[in-house]
Chain A
Amino acid sequence: MKTDYIGKPTSRVDGALKVTGTAKYAAEFSADGLTYGYVVSSTIAQGTIKKIDLEEALNLKGVLQIFTHENVSGLAWFDRSYKDEDAVAGSPFRPLYDKKIRYSMQPIALVVAETFELARYAASIIKVEYTTESHISDLKENIPNSFKAPKGKVGFKPPVSRGDAKEAFENAPVKIASEYIHSAEHHNPMEIYATTVVMEPDGKLTVYDKTQGVSNCQAYISKIFGLSAKEVRVMSPFMGGGFGSGLRPQYQLFLAVLASLELKRSVKVSLTRQQMFSFGHRPASVQQMALSASPDGTLQSIAHTAYGETSMFEDYTEVVVNWSGLVYQCENVEQKYDLVKLNTYTPLDMRAPGAASGFHAIESAMDELAYALKMDPLALRLKNYAERDQNDKKPFSSKALRACYAEGAAKFGWDKRSIEPRSMREGNNLIGWGMATGSWDAMQMKATANAVLTADGKLTVGSGTSDIGTGTYTIMTQIAAETLGLPIENVTFKLGDTLLPEAPLEGGSWTATSVGSAVQSVCTTIKEQVFKLAKKVKNSPFANADLKEVNFDNGEISLKLNPSKTLSITDVMKQSGKVSIEEEATTMPNPIHMLEYSFNSHSAVFVEVKVDEDLGTVVVSRVVSAIAAGKILNPKTARSQILGAVVWGISMALEEDSVVDNNFGRFINHNLSEYHVAVNKDINDIEVIFVEEKDDVINPLGIKGLGEIGLVGVAGAVANAVFHATGHRVYNLPITMDKVLGLSE
C-alpha cells in the first residue's frame, strides 16, 4: 500500500508554513483602520476602585476610547451567559463589570487607540485610586477554611474512599507519611494571548482568537453580547501553544469584542507577557500522603489528601487524588480533595491537570515506602500492579504498563542500580536514578467532521478543532488520506473555524480520539459513496464486488484478488458526472463500552540526575519515558509530544514557581526572566519508547491520545532520582539548590 499513513512517521503538513513565518496567529491578522487595545491591570488584590481618572489619557490625540466598569453596561445579566464549556461551579469572572477588585492584576480598563504604542502610553497615565481591603492569598495558612470540592466541572469526579485506610495504617508494620507543597504554575505558551476582531462591512464580526475551542468562544461572545452565531465567526488557524490555557475564553476576547462593537472598528487586543500571569494557572496545592504496607511490599493502605486553591468567585476542580486509588491495587483507600478560596483568578487546567501534581506526591511516597521496605522502587510498583480500576470497579480496555516498566527499565539499565542512596558518584556530582509511574484518562468526546471530495481527486476535510502544536493538522490528514486511499498531498484538513462542524475543546488528550474518529467516519462514508459510483460506471470491474473486496490506495480502487483491475477515483468521478461528494459525520464513544471499561494511558519514567554535592545544583542527564497509549498515529510527531512533555516535567520539577507575595497577594515574578521554564541547556538525553498496546474496545482507530501522559510521571521520577543521589528527600517543588542542600524548605 502506498497511502497507508496511519502509524508511519510523517512530517507536519503545516511545517512549511511554520518555518517560513507564514502561519498566522491571532495577533497577526490585519484590517483596514485596525485599532489597538491595551489592558490596564489592578495593582491590588482585594478592594474597590474608588476613582479612575481617564482625562489625561483621553485627551491624547488618537486615543479613541477607554473602557472601564463605569462605562460598560447593557450586557448579559445572568451567570449562565458567561459560562463557557470548561466553566466550573460558581460565577464566572466578568471583565469591567463592577468596581470590585477580586484579584491582583485584574483587568480594570481597556485603552483603544490608533497605534499600539499610543494605547500603551495612554494606559500608563491613567490614575486609579483604590479602597484597599485585606486579601487572602496564602494557601497553607487558610487550610482551616477549606471545603469539599463541589461538582460542576465537566469530567470532575469527586474522590471515593474504600475499606478502612486509617485502621490499616495503624496496624501496618511499614508506613510513611509526608506532605508535599506545590506553588502555582503558569502555562506561558510562547504566543501571548491576543484577539483581533475584524469589523466586516456588513457589521458582522470575524474574530481571530487564541483559543483551544473556537465554538466555545463563539458561544461565549454571542451570549454575552446578544449576537447570533451568524454574526460572529471565530477563527484560530494556528495557536502558539496552549497547554490548557485556551480552554476557557480569556478576557482579552471579551474586551476586543466589546471595543469593536462599541467603536464600530476593527480592534486588536494583545496582552503583555506580564499579563499572562493575570488569569488561569495550575493551582498551588498542599498534599498529604500516608502509605502502609506489609513487609513483602503489599500495600495495606493509601491515604491521599489534597488542598487546592481556587478563586473567590469560582470553584476550580481537578482530579488530584483519585489516581491513588486507580494506579495501585489496594483495599483500603482514603481520598480527600478540598478547596481553599483565595484572592486569585480561577485556576485553569494546565497540561495533565491534577495528575501532574497528584502523581508527584503519589510516586514520591511510593519511593519513600520502597526505601522504608528496603525494596527496589520498581519491584514495589510491580508488586501492587492494579489489574482493574478499583475506583470504578471496571477492567481497563487495555493496560500495557507492565511493558512500559520492562522496556523502560531495560533501555535505562535499571537493573544496574544500587538501591543505596549516595552510592554513585562522578567527581563533585552525586548520581541518582529514580523512576515513577504515570496515568491519564483516555477520553473520547462527541465530534463532527465534514469532507468534500472533488472531481480532481482532492479531498478537503474539516472540523472546528484546534492544533495547538500537537499535530492535529497532520494526523487528521493522515487518517483522511489513508481511509480514502489518497496521496497525502491531495488531502487538506481545515480546523479552527466556527464555519466548520463542531468539535470538542482541544484538550484532555481527547482530540486525536474524538476528531480522529469523526474524520475516519466521514471519509469512510465518502469511500462508500465513491464505491457505489464505481460499481455503476460502464464496464466496472467492481460491478459485483463488495467494498470489503477492494483496496483504496494511491487514488485508485482495485480488487484485492485481482489488483490489475483498477479504477482511479478521478475516473469514477468523471464517468459518474460528479463534481463533488460532500458528507458530514458525527461520532461519539460507544456508550456500552463506556459503562463496561475504564480507559487509561500509562507511562513509566526513568530519570538520571547529577547533583552537585556541595552546591546543590541538579542536572537531569538522562530520561527514558515508556508510554502505553494505544496505537500511535504518527510516531514522528508523537515522539515530539512526549519529548516536550518530559521537558515540561523537568521544568516543573526543578524550575517553575509562580511566587505569591502574600503582602500584596500578587504573583511577583510575573515575567519570563524570573519565572523560569526550561531552556535548551537544561535538556539532555531523552529517550521515548511507545510500547505495543492493542485496544479493540476504545475506538475503531485503537488510539488513546498523548497530550498529557508524557508529563505525568516526570516530576516524581526526578524527585526520586534526587533522593537516590543525595539521601535527602525534597518534598516541595521546584527542587532548587537551596532545598537540595537542606538550606531552605
Chain B
Amino acid sequence: MNTFSYTRANDVADAVQNGSVKTNFKFIAGGTNLLDLMKENVERPDHLIDLSRITLKEIEDTADGGLRLGALATNANTAYNQKVEERYPLLSKAILAGASPQLRNMATNGGNLFQRTRCYYFYDLATPCNKREPGSGCSAINGYNRIHAILGTSEHCIATHPSDMCVALAALDAKVNVTGIHGEKVIDFADFHRLPGDQPQFDNILEPGDVVTSLDLPKNNLSKHVTYLKLRDRQSYAFAIVSVAAALELDGDVIKDIRVALGGVAHKPWRIKSAEIALIGKAATVENFKVLAENLLADAKGFGSNTFKIELAKRAIVRALTEVAKAI
C-alpha cells in the first residue's frame, strides 16, 4: 500500500469540491474492494476522500411509485429493507447472494457499482494486465480464464464485472443519480458500465470527481416471479461463475414482462432487451426460455478454461426462468 492523504467529506458538495482540487484521488465508502486493491498495490491513490459519513443512507419512495436507494446505505440494510424485500425481491436476493454478511454490512450501494474485476492477473502485479497497466497485454486470454468473460470481450481484456447486486439493478432498469463538477446527471444502468474495448482501464462512463448519490428503481410488476441463480465453485462466499437475475410478469402462463440479466460472463451485467421483448406475449415454456438463452449467448466466445460457461449459462437461464414461472 502506498502513502496517501485522507479527507472526510461532510456532504456531496464537499466531496465534489474535494475531488475537483485533487489529482489521483479515490472516493472511499465501504472500502471493501478499494482497500483490498490498495494492499495489492493495484490501486495507488495519493488521496482518499471518505464519503462514509455523508447522510445518503435513506431508502425512500419516489414520486412515480419507485424506490430511491441512498448511495451510502449498506448492502445489508438495502437487502433487508422491507420495501426492497416486498417490491424488489430480486435485488434483495442478488445482494444476499454476494460476499459475506460482514462485507455486506460495510459495502455501500454506490460502492458496489465500483467493484473492480476479480481477474487473477489484474490482481497480480507479476503479470501483464491491460486493465491495470494499459498496453502491457492481457494474460488471461491465453492463460487461466475460468472466471473470465465469454461475452463482450475484446482482444485487450476478458475481465468480468464481479457484482451480484449490479446484475439485479440491470434487470430492474435502475437509474444512477450522479453529482459531478458540472452538476447532476442521471445514467441508465445499462449505460453505466462499459465493455473493455481498447480501453479496459475504464470500468464505467463516469468522469473523475463524479459522485453517485443514489439509485432509482422504477415501478414494475416484477415482485412475484423472481430469482437470482448464482453458480459458483462453493456454496457461499464465492464470486459467480455464472449468475442469472430473472424476473417474469405473467398473465396466466403468458409473459407480460420479462427480465434476464447475466453476471460473471462479461465486463458488465449482460442483458439483451430485444431478446426479452421477443418473448412478450408468448407462453412461459421451457422451449421459449431456451430460445431466449440461445439469443443471449449467441455471440459468446470461450477462451479455453471458461468455454464451459457458454453452455452453463444457457442452462442457468432456462433453469432460473423455469423456477420463476413455477413460483406463485
A91-117 vs B: 1/0 string, CB under 8 Å?
000000000000010000000000001
Q: Do B123 and A664 touch (CB < 8 A)?
A: no
A647-679 vs B, CB cutoff 8 Å, 1 = contact: the mask equals 000000011000101011010111101101011
The interface-forming segment of A252-260, A490-498, A613-621 is A613-621
Contact of B316 among A615, A661, A671, A734 (CB under 8 A): A615
The answer to whether A655 and B2 touch across the interface, beta carbons within 8 angstroms, is no
Please measure, in the bound complex, the distance between the C-alpha atom of A663 and the C-alpha atom of B141, giving whole angstroms. 11
Q: A121-B2, A663-B142 are in contact. Are A674 and B118 (CB under 8 A)?
A: yes
Chain A nearest CB from B123 CB (Å) reads 7
Q: Does B253 contact A (CB under 8 A)?
A: no
Instruction: Choose the segment among A452-460, A531-539, A592-600, A735-743 that binds chain B (4+ C-beta atoms closer than 8 Å).
Output: A735-743
B53 at the interface (CB under 8 A from A): no
Q: List A contacts of B126 (CB < 8 A).
A: 43-44, 104, 664, 666
Instruction: Give A409 Cβ to nearest chain B Cβ, in Å.
Output: 27
In the bound complex, what is the Cα–Cα distance between A124 and B3 (angstroms)?
Answer: 11
- By the criterion CB–CB under 8 Å, are A736 and B319 in contact? no
Residues of B contacting A131 with CB < 8 Å?
Answer: none
Q: Is B1 an interface residue (CB 8 A)?
A: yes
Task: Select B312's contact among A666, A671, A741, beta carbons within 8 Å.
Answer: A741
Whether the pair B315, A615 counts as a contact (CB closer than 8 A) is yes
Instruction: Please state if A614 and B315 are interface contacts (CB–CB under 8 Å).
Output: yes
- Asked if B233 lies at the interface with its beta carbon under 8 angstroms from chain A, I say yes
Residue pair B236, A679 in contact (C-beta under 8 Å): yes
What B residues does A166 contact at CB under 8 A?
none
Cβ-defined contact, A743 with B311, below 8 A = yes
Inter-subunit contact A619/B1 (CB<8 Å)? no
Contact A43 B308 (CB under 8 A): no
Residues of B within 8 A of A274 (CB): 40
- Given A104-B126, A676-B234: A661 in contact with B143 (beta carbons within 8 A): yes
Q: Mark B235-251, 1 if CB is under 8 A from A, else 0.
A: 11111010000000000
Q: Is the CB of B120 within 8 A of A668?
A: yes
Option from B41, B143, B147, B312 in Cβ contact (under 8 Å) with A674: B147
Residues of B within 8 A of A736 (CB): 233
- Check if A416 is an interface residue, CB within 8 A of chain B: no
A617–B231 CB distance below 8 A: yes
User: What is the bound-complex CA distance between A44 and B124, given in angstroms?
Assistant: 12
Interface assignment of A11: CB less than 8 Å from any CB of chain B: no
Are B139 and A661 in touch, CB under 8 angstroms? yes
* Cα–Cα, bound, A664→B39 (Å): 22
- In the complex, residue of chain B having the shortest beta-carbon distance to the beta carbon of A677: B234
Kindly state whether residue B154 has any CB partner on chain A within 8 Å: no
B312 touches A743 (CB 8 A): yes
Interface residues of A in 690-744 (CB under 8 A from B): 734, 736-738, 741, 743-744
CA distance A670 to B125 in the complex (A): 12
Rounded to whole Å, the gap between the CB of B238 and the closest CB of chain A is 6
- For A668, what are the chain B residues with a Cβ–Cβ distance below 8 Å? 120-121, 124, 127, 143-144
* Alpha-carbon distance A666/B127, docked complex (angstroms): 10
Note all chain A residues with C-beta closer than 8 A to B241. Answer: 737
- Asked if B1 and A655 make an inter-chain contact with CB atoms under 8 angstroms apart, the answer reads no
Contact of B3 among A104, A121, A673, A737 (CB under 8 A): A121
Closest-by-CB residue of A relative to B229 is A615
Query: Does B305 make an interface contact (CB < 8 A)?
Result: yes
Evaluate contact between A120 and B1: CB separation under 8 angstroms.
yes
Given the interface pairs A428-B319, A661-B144, A668-B120, the reply to whether A738 lies near B308 with Cβ below 8 Å is yes
In whole Å, how far is B150's beta carbon from the nearest beta carbon of chain A? 12
A166 CB → nearest B CB, Å: 37
Contact yes or no, A679 B235, CB < 8 A: yes
A661 to B2 Cα, complex, angstroms: 28
* Contact between chains at B234 and A671 (CB < 8 Å): no
Give, as a whole number of angstroms, the nearest-CB distance from B317 to chain A. 11
Return the chain B residue nearest A650 by Cβ. Answer: B234
Q: B residues within 8 A CB of A617?
A: 231
| A-facing residues in B214-232 (Cβ within 8 Å) | 231
- State in angstroms the CA–CA spacing of A679 and B238 once bound together: 10
Residues of B within 8 A of A737 (CB): 231, 233, 241, 312
List B305-328 residues whose CB lies under 8 Å from chain A: 305, 307-308, 311-312, 315-316, 318-319
Query: Is A59 in contact with chain B by the CB < 8 A criterion?
Result: no
A678–B234 touching, CB < 8 Å? yes
A617 to chain B: closest residue by CB: B231
The count of residues in chain B whose C-beta lies closer than 8 Å to any C-beta of chain A is 38
Q: How far is the CB of A522 from chain B (nearest CB, A)?
A: 46
A664 touches B127 (CB 8 A): yes
Question: Across the two chains, which residue of chain B brings its CB closest to A672?
Answer: B237
Closest A residue by C-beta to B36: A673
List of A residues within 8 angstroms of B39 by Cβ:
120
A111–B210 CA distance with the chains assembled, in angstroms: 38
Q: Do A671 and B308 touch across chains, with their CB atoms under 8 A apart?
A: no
Within 8 A of A (CB), among B120-140: 120-121, 123-127, 139
The smallest beta-carbon distance between B35 and chain A, in angstroms, is 12
Return chain A residues, CB-CB under 8 Å to B308. 738, 741, 743-744
Q: Are A738 and B143 in contact (CB under 8 A)?
A: no
In the bound assembly, the distance between CA atoms of A663 and B241 in angstroms comes to 23
Residues of B within 8 Å of A121, CB to CB, are 1-3
Residue pair B233, A659 in contact (C-beta under 8 Å): no
The answer to the question of A20 belonging to the interface, with a C-beta cut-off of 8 Å to chain B, is no
Q: Mark A470-503, 1 if CB is under 8 A from B, else 0.
A: 0000000000000000000000000000000000
- Chain A's nearest CB lies how many Å from the CB of B247? 20
Question: CA A615 – CA B40 in complex, angstroms?
Answer: 34
The answer to whether residues A669 and B120 also contact, given A104-B126, A661-B139, A743-B312 and a CB cut-off of 8 A, is yes
Structural contact, B143 and A655, CB atoms closer than 8 A? no
Decide if A738 touches B41 in the complex (CB within 8 Å).
Answer: no
* Known contacts A44-B126, A664-B126, A668-B120; is-contact A616 B1 (Cβ 8 Å): no
A673 near B143 (CB under 8 angstroms)?
A: no
A681 CB-CB contact with B under 8 Å: yes
- Contact call B1/A676, Cβ cutoff below 8 A: no
Q: What CA separation (Å) do A666 and B120 show in the bound complex? A: 11
A79 touches B (CB below 8 Å): no
Q: When chains A and B are docked, how far (Å) is the Cα of A619 from the Cα of B316?
A: 17
Max chain B C-beta neighbours (<10 A), residue from A117, A654, A668, A741 = A668
Query: What residues of chain B lie closer than 8 Å to A564, measured between beta carbons?
Result: none
Q: Is the CB of A43 within 8 A of B125?
A: yes
Q: A44-B126, A664-B126 are in contact. Are A738 and B144 (CB under 8 A)?
A: no
Nearest Cβ distance between residue A173 and chain B, in whole angstroms?
A: 38
Within the assembled complex, what's the spacing in Å between the Cα atoms of A614 and B319?
8
- B3 adjacent to A679 (CB under 8 Å): no
Query: CA separation between A674 and B146, bound complex, in Å?
Result: 11
* Known contacts A428-B319, A666-B126; A654 and B139 CB within 8 A of each other: no
Interface residue A28 (Cβ < 8 Å from any Cβ of B): no
Docked-complex contact B125 and A676, CB < 8 angstroms: no
Is A71 an interface residue when CB atoms closer than 8 A count as contact? no
Minimum Cβ distance to chain B for residue A745 (Å): 10
Minimal beta-carbon separation of A207 from chain B (angstroms): 27
Residues of chain B within 8 A (CB-CB) of A544 are none
Given A614-B315, A663-B142, do A654 and B234 touch, yes or no (CB 8 Å)?
A: yes
CA distance A738 to B312 in the complex (A): 8
Residues of chain B with a CB closer than 8 A to A734's CB: 233
How distant is the Cα of A707 from the Cα of B48 in the complex, in angstroms? 48
Contact among A125, A682, A744 for B305, CB-based, below 8 A: A744
> Which B residues contact A (CB, under 8 angstroms)?
1-3, 39-41, 118, 120-121, 123-127, 139, 142-144, 146-147, 231, 233-239, 241, 305, 307-308, 311-312, 315-316, 318-319
Given contacts A682-B234, A743-B312, A744-B308, 11 further A-B contacts (CB under 8 A): A124-B41, A615-B319, A654-B234, A655-B234, A666-B127, A668-B120, A668-B121, A673-B238, A673-B239, A674-B147, A737-B312
Name 16 interchain pairs, CB-CB below 8 A, sorted by A.
A43-B125, A44-B126, A104-B126, A121-B3, A124-B1, A614-B315, A615-B316, A617-B231, A663-B142, A668-B127, A668-B143, A679-B234, A679-B237, A681-B234, A681-B235, A741-B312
The 10 A-B residue pairs with the shortest CB-CB distance, nearest first, are A43-B126, A743-B308, A681-B236, A738-B308, A681-B235, A668-B120, A682-B235, A676-B234, A614-B315, A124-B41
